[in-house]
Structure formats: structure tokens, C-alpha cells
Amino acid sequence: MVQTMSDPVRRATRIRRFPWPFTGDRYAYSANVEPAPGLRRTIVGEWGRTILDPDETYVAELAERRDILARDPSRHVELPHMRAASWDVLLWGLRELVGTDPAMTLDRQGDGYVWTNRRLGTCQAFRYGDDASLPMGPLMFLGSQIQEDIVLLDQREDRLWADAGCVTFASNWSMAFTAGMSFMEIHGPVPHDFADGAIPRAERFLMRLGAGQAYRRLNWTTTAGYRLDTALDSYADWGASRVRLADCDDFADVFHMRVEVQHLVRLPESGAILFLIRTYLLPLADILTVPEWRAQFASVLTHLPDDIIQYKGLAVLRPRLLAHLG
């Protein structure tokens, strides 16, 4: 589903709440983690007050996820030993929603819960740990209530393993392909001498996270069109649009900055690491309305090393981008 951003009010909101990824005029691949949540001001607005962000796109994005999962069930993967972690993340996520959005409540009596979500019109009673008490698995159910993509990492043998996930808005990767891989295997494609040691350091950091602790980081890349689903699984649907970016006429409207707000949480009961990915898209036309962002983006692009430029798929586009930003 390709959405348009024609409504000026929505457009202004989107710019104001966009998690702009640059703070200086250089970008280095690093662990860049910080405790979460925490309000972060940008030159035109703010983001990050809460871990989950059920914003004005909430209902539309969840409908899009439901359609993608119906079309391609492989976006949800769960190895059998992740059952406890899946229930753990469901409770964590629903509680987090309750603390974020007054339209949602969770009532408990022992192992019995009643979940009410007035934004979706959902009222669901379930019994903790009883798979038959939900209309779908607990991980899938949480995926139907939060916009964020969900990956669960099991910690064993001094490593992390991506053993479960419900991921419909992946940026150029595939949950089905990644399932069961170790943290190091997943990050194999990251260039620059294995990100100058940032990846192994990040894994050690995650393995030391204490129960309930939450951290976050930003990641950025680019997308052709307002398209959340750029998973490798659907490459046939979007690959060509990426190629057309090089010479399309409406470049500033089609080219989007794609920012992922990633949260890392040690789940309290299973001890699994939760990796949440929330995707925000902003067209170049909107970036051009903020002079500071325009200058920062130009400077970052100018200084990025060639292998990172290649990794982010910007080798062909850089001259065109710089011409717009300059």
C-alpha cells in the first residue's frame, strides 16, 4: 500500500515528529545506543517520549501488516523454544501500550487477562501461557496491536539468536531467511571492517542488559516511495521502483529518508532480548523545507565512505541527491 502525504496538516505533523537521525555533519556506523525512553528534540519538533508510538498512522499501518501477513505468512517465524518469550513479549507490549495510550486497558485476575483497545475496537480475554485462549499466537497478537516490527533473540552459549519474529516492514532483509541465525551471522553484510568492531561490541552489550532495561538506537536508509514493506520477500514488487529513482521526474516526492527507531529490551520473565523496529518515512520534499536538515544531509552524504554509500544503496543517487540539497 502506497500512502500519499497530500494533507498539509498531516505533513506538518509528520515532519515535526520525525526522528531525524543526524546530530552533526558526519555519520559513523556505531552502536550509538542510549537509554530509552527519552524525549529528543529536533530543530522542528520532538520524538522518543515513549517506547511505543501509536501515532496517527496506527490503524492504517496495522491494516497493512494484516494484509501482508495474509499474503505472506512467512513474515512471522517462531521456533518452538520461543513460546515463553512470545508470551513474555505480549504482556510487555500490552502493558507498554496501556502506559502510552489512554484508549487501551489491561485487566488482570491471576493468569487471566482482559485486553481492551478502543482504537481498534478489540476486546480480548486470554489466559497467560494458554495458546488456545488467543485467536492467534501471542507474538502475532502483539503484532496486531503495535506498529513496530518484533524480533525475539534467545541468549544461550554466550551468543544471541534471532529465533522468533513478526516483521512486515523490513528494510531489505527477510525474517524468514534470518530466523535461527546468530547475531554475528545476521550482521555479516555490514561493511567497514565489520563496522569497526561495533557489531561484536553491540552483542556483548545486549547480553549484559539487565531485566526490564530498555535502550534504543536509530538507523537510517532510503526508500523509493512511501513504502513500509521493502522486505527482500517482496523485492519483485518494489525493486524496480528503486531503479527508477535514478531518472524519475518527481525525485523529491519519491525519494524518502527511512529512519528506524530500534528498541532493545531485556524481557523480564523469559530473559529474551526484544528487538523492536519502528519505521518512519519522510520524502525529500519535506526534508528540503528544513534548512538545517538539508545542510546536514548534504554534509553527511559528502563525507560517507564509499562502502557505506554502497551498503545504503546510494552510489547512483548521491549526485542527484546533492544537487537537490545544495
Binding footprint of another protein on the chain (CB under 8 A)? 30-35, 37, 50-51, 81-85, 88, 91, 95-96, 99-100, 108, 111, 128-129, 154, 156-158, 201-202, 204-205, 208, 210-215, 265, 268-272
CB of 240 to another protein, least distance (A): 39
Query: What are the cell numbers at 45?
Result: 519538533
Give the whole-angstrom CA distance, residue 169 versus residue 66. Answer: 12
Number of other residues whose CB lies within 10 A of the CB of residue 8: 8
The whole-angstrom distance between residue 61's C-alpha and the CA centroid of its chain comes to 12
CB of 297 to another protein, least distance (A): 23
Contact between 97 and 122 under an 8 Å Cβ cutoff? The reply is no
30 vs 289, beta carbon nearer another protein? 30
Give the whole-angstrom CA distance, residue 191 versus residue 151. Answer: 22
CB of 72 to another protein, least distance (A): 27
CB of 104 to another protein, least distance (A): 12
**Catalytic residue (choose from 10, 11, 83, 217):** 217
258 is an active site residue: no
Q: What number of H helices and E strands is found in the chain? A: 14, 13
Give the whole-angstrom CA distance, residue 190 versus residue 199. Answer: 9
Number of other residues whose CB lies within 10 A of the CB of residue 123: 11
Q: How many CA atoms lie within 13 A of 95 on its CB side?
A: 11
73 vs 99, beta carbon nearer another protein? 99
CB of 112 to another protein, least distance (A): 12
73 vs 180, beta carbon nearer another protein? 180
- What does the CA dihedral 131, 51, 53, 13 come to, rounded to 10 degrees? -170
Just list the catalytic residues.
Answer: 217
